[in-house]
Structure 1
Amino acid sequence: MNPTPTLHDVARLAGVNEATVSRAFSRRAPVAAKTRERIFEAARRVGYRPSMAARMTRTGRSGLIGVVRSPVGGHSVDHPSFLLGLGGELHRRGLCPVGDVLSVPGDPDMDPAAPAPAVPRIIREHLADGFLINYAFGMPEAAERLLSGSGVPAIWINQLREQNCVRPDDRGAAAEATAYLLGRGCRDIAYVAAPASSSSAGASRAEHFSRAARERGYRDAMSAAGVPARVEALPPLPPAGAYERRLGHVLRSHVALLSRRDRPEAVLCEADGRVMLAAASEAGLRVPGELAVFGIDNDPGGDVRIAMDRLVVPFWAMGRSAVEEVCGLIEEPDRPRPPVVLPFEFHRAGTVA
C-alpha cells in the first residue's frame, strides 16, 4: 500500500521548500503565479490533497465561510450574478462556502408550530472563520442577538447598518435616475412606488430600507432642481393569488395612471419598469415620444426582449465585496468595517428621449 503523499513530496517534486508549498495552498501569502502552478501540478501528480485538520492545527482557521440565509423565498439575495461574485472571490482566496438556513420561531413567515429554534450547527459550534449573513428581510430579533453574540466575524448583506455590511446605493441610484430624466428635459416626473402587500412576506419587503431610500433619492433630486415631487402610490396587491393575477393588478394600476388627464410626462419606477412599458402600449402612448420610462431594476438580466433605460442592482459586485469584507474582518476582528455602498449599473436602451 502506497504511503499517503505529504507536503514534503510535493515540495521535492516542485523544487521548492515546504513553506512555499504551504503558502501556495493557503493562498494567504504571495507566491509567484508560475511557482504556484508548478506546485499544484506536483500535488496533482503525487496525489496530494491538503488536510483541513492540519490546516486548522497550523493556522487556527478552517478555511470555511458560513453563508446563512432565510428559509423564506425573497428574504435573501439569490440572484445568480450575486452567487457568481461571491463564489468566485471565495475560490480565488482558497476558501470554501458552507451554507445553512437560519430559522427561529417568531418569524411571521415561519411555521408558528416549530418546536424550537433551528440554530445552524455552524454558528453554535463556531465551525467557520466568518459569516456572510444573507438575510435582508424580517430577521427576528432573537436571530440577530444570536449572531451578534456568536463572537465570529460577520458581514451583513443588503442591510442598512452602521458597520460590517455591504449594500447597493439605493438612494443614490434614484437620485441619479431622476437627475438623468431632468437632464433630458423632463419636469413632470412621477415616482411610481411598488404596490404594498397585505401578506407577511410582502410586509417584510415593505419594511426594507431600499423602498424609503429610493423615494428619498428621487425627492432629493427633484428638490435640488426646484421641481415639485409627484409620488404615485399604487393600490395594494391582493392578499394572495397566482403571479399572473398580481401582475395583472399592477398592469391595470399603471394603465389607470397613464389614462388620467394629468398623466405625467415621465415615470421613474421604484422596481421593474417593464410592466409600465406594457401599460403605455395598452394606453396607446408612444415611448419615448409621449412618455419617458425609467426603471430601478433588481434583475441585471431581465427580459432581453423588453429593453428599457434602467439602473440595476450590482449583484456581482455585492457578492465579491461581501467576501472581501468578511476576510478583512477575519484578519482584524477588533476593527469594525465601515459600510460598503455600491453604485448601481446604468443601462441605456432608448425609453427616455
Structure 2
Amino acid sequence: MGESRAAIRGGGMATIYDVARLANVSAKTVSRVLNEDGPVGPRTRQAVQEAIAQLGYVPSNAARMMRSNRSGLVGLITGAITAAQEPTHPAGLPDLLIVQGIQRVMADQDMTLMVADTGGRADRIPRLVRTFLEHRAEGLIYVADYHQRVRLPPVAGSTPLVLANCFDDAGTPAVLPDDRRGQHDLVARIAAAGHRRIAYLTLREDMVATSLRSLGYRDALAEAGLPFDPRLVQVAYLSDGEEDSRILVEAIDRLLELPDPPTVLCCGNDAMAMRVYGILRSRGVRVPEDMSVAGYDNHRIIAETLYPPLTTVELPYRDMGQRAAERLLACISGQGRDEPTPTLVSGPVLWRASVTDRPAANPRHISFNGRSEP
C-alpha cells in the first residue's frame, strides 16, 4: 500500500478500483468484502478495509439496487412542513404526528423515509411522485391534513401507494380515523354519566368527519334509549375565520334558549371547545357545574391546559401513521395490494373534569342568564 491517497484519487472521488489498487487485490475481492458474499482471508479483508478508510471510499448502492430491485427507500408526500405554524398552535399537528408514526415503523425495518412537502399546492404532487420514482422508491404514502376524499395522479408501474387520513374513488389502500366510532363512544360515555340532553356543535356539514360523527352521535343516542332532537345539532364551524365566532355564539345561544336546553355540548374539535368555554362564561354559565363540555381530537396543549381539563376523544394520528407504514410494507411484499377496504383506526375517550355526572333524580334547568334552576 505504498501509493499515496492523492496519487490514487487524483483529487476526485475514490472508486472501487482505487481501493483494489491500493489494497493490491482485485475489484471482485473488494466487492466480496463490501457485500460479505464470498470467502476472503482475514489479512486480505484487513488490507481492503484499511484502503477504504485511507481513501474515504463510500460504496455506491446503485449496482446492488439494480440487481435486487430493492432500494430501501419509501417516499412520503405531505403538507405538514409548510402547514405547521408555532409549536403551540394545533394547525399541522395531524400531518406531523402521522409522519412520526410512519417514520417509527420504517426505521424499525431499516427503510429510509424520504419526505416531500407540497407547499400547500396540489399541482406539485405529480412532480413529487415522479421524483420519488426516479429515485427508485419502493412505495409511496400520501398524508392528508384531515379526513377527506382525494384525487391523486396514477402511479406508474407497480409501485404501491397508501393513503393516510384520506381516501379516493379508485380503492387505493387507505388508513382512516374511525370517526363514527369515536363520536359514538364519547356520546355513549356521556349518556352513561346521566346526561339526557346531549347537544352536538358540528364542523362543516360537507366534511367527511362531520357526516360520520353525526351517525355515531345518533347511534349512541339510540343505544341509550334517547330520542334524537334535531334542535340539539348545530353547525358551528365554517372556515376558522371571524364569521365562525358569530356562528358559534349564535348556535350556543339557540341551545341555551331552548325550553329544555342541553346539559352537555359536544364540540367538533378541541379548538372549538376552548372557545365554547369563553362564550359560556361570558353568559354566566359555569363549566361543568351548569354546562358540561366535550371536545374531539385530544390536542393535549388545549385539552390538558383548559380549566377544567377537557373531556375529548383522541384522534390516533401516530397509530394511523404506523398502520399506514405497515400496510405499505405489506403491499411492497405483495400482500394486500388488491384489498380496497380502508383500515379504520379508533382512539379512546379521555374522560376529564369538563363533563360532570348528572344523577337522573336531580335534573337542573339552565336558564338563558346562566342561573341553575330546579
Tell me the alpha carbon deviations over residues 230-253 of structure 1, each in whole angstroms, 9 at most, x when there is no partner.
342236647xxxx66255335423
TM-score (norm 1): 0.71
Aligned partner of 1:157 in structure 2 is 164
* 3-state SS, counterpart of residue 157 of structure 1: strand
Tell me by how many angstroms 1:137 deviates: 4.1
Aligned partner of 2:281 in structure 1 is 281
8 Å Cα contact 1:7-1:48 kept in structure 2: no
* 3-state SS, counterpart of residue 158 of structure 1: strand
Alpha-carbon separation, structure 1, partners of 2:58 and 2:294: 52
8 Å Cα contact 2:160-2:337 kept in structure 1: no
Aligned pair 1:293/2:293, yes or no? yes
Tell me by how many angstroms 1:259 deviates: 3.4
8 Å Cα contact 1:56-1:62 kept in structure 2: yes
Aligned partner of 2:200 in structure 1 is 191
Residues 290-329 of structure 1: pairs in structure 2 closer than 5 A:
290-297=290-297, 299-302=299-302, 304-306=304-306, 307-329=309-331
- Going from structure 1 to structure 2, the CA distance change for 1:91 and 1:246 (only over 3 Å counts) comes to farther
Alpha-carbon separation, structure 1, partners of 2:28 and 2:222: 65
Aligned partner of 2:44 in structure 1 is none
- Going from structure 1 to structure 2, the CA distance change for 1:125 and 1:257 (only over 3 Å counts) comes to same
- Going from structure 1 to structure 2, the CA distance change for 1:303 and 1:343 (only over 3 Å counts) comes to closer
Tell me the alpha carbon deviations over residues 10-63 of structure 1, each in whole angstroms, 9 at most, x when there is no partner.
9989xxx9259xxxxxxxxxxxxxxxxxxxxx99x9577563314413421121
Aligned partner of 2:235 in structure 1 is 234
Aligned partner of 1:133 in structure 2 is 142
8 Å Cα contact 1:254-1:276 kept in structure 2: no
- Going from structure 1 to structure 2, the CA distance change for 1:289 and 1:100 (only over 3 Å counts) comes to same
Alpha-carbon separation, structure 1, partners of 2:28 and 2:104: 26
Q: Structure 1 stretch 128-137 or stretch 246-255: which is displaced more?
A: 246-255
Aligned partner of 1:221 in structure 2 is 220
Matching residue within 339, 344, 349 for 1:346:
349
Aligned partner of 2:187 in structure 1 is 178
8 Å Cα contact 1:76-1:134 kept in structure 2: no
Alpha-carbon separation, structure 2, partners of 1:249 and 1:216: 26
8 Å Cα contact 2:184-2:217 kept in structure 1: yes
Alpha-carbon separation, structure 1, partners of 2:28 and 2:224: 66
Aligned partner of 2:242 in structure 1 is 245
Matching residue within 237, 250, 256 for 2:253:
256
Tell me the alpha carbon deviations over residues 308-341 of structure 1, each in whole angstroms, 9 at most, x when there is no partner.
0000211111111111110110001574345321
Tell me by how many angstroms 1:9 deviates: 8.0
Aligned residues: 303
Alpha-carbon separation, structure 1, partners of 2:226 and 2:331: 44
Q: Structure 1 stretch 341-350 or stretch 309-318: which is displaced more?
A: 341-350
Alpha-carbon separation, structure 2, partners of 1:347 and 1:10: 56
- Going from structure 1 to structure 2, the CA distance change for 1:59 and 1:48 (only over 3 Å counts) comes to farther
Aligned partner of 2:78 in structure 1 is 69
Tell me by how many angstroms 1:207 deviates: 3.9
TM-score (norm 2): 0.67
Aligned pair 1:212/2:221, yes or no? no
Aligned partner of 1:88 in structure 2 is 104
In structure 1, list runs of 5 or more residues that go unmatched: 21-41, 104-108, 197-205
- Going from structure 1 to structure 2, the CA distance change for 1:164 and 1:236 (only over 3 Å counts) comes to closer
* 3-state SS, counterpart of residue 166 of structure 2: coil
Tell me by how many angstroms 1:139 deviates: 3.1
Q: Percent identity?
A: 23
8 Å Cα contact 2:199-2:266 kept in structure 1: yes
Residues 20-99 of structure 1: pairs in structure 2 closer than 5 A:
51-69=60-78, 78-99=94-115
8 Å Cα contact 2:116-2:128 kept in structure 1: no
8 Å Cα contact 1:171-1:215 kept in structure 2: yes
Structure possessing the higher radius of gyration over alpha carbons = 2
Aligned partner of 1:332 in structure 2 is 334
Residues 10-21 of structure 1: pairs in structure 2 closer than 5 A:
18=36
8 Å Cα contact 1:100-1:120 kept in structure 2: no
Alpha-carbon separation, structure 2, partners of 1:115 and 1:163: 20
Alpha-carbon separation, structure 1, partners of 2:130 and 2:93: 22
Tell me by how many angstroms 1:79 deviates: 3.8
Tell me by how many angstroms 1:83 deviates: 2.4
One-letter amino acid of the counterpart of residue 289, structure 1: E
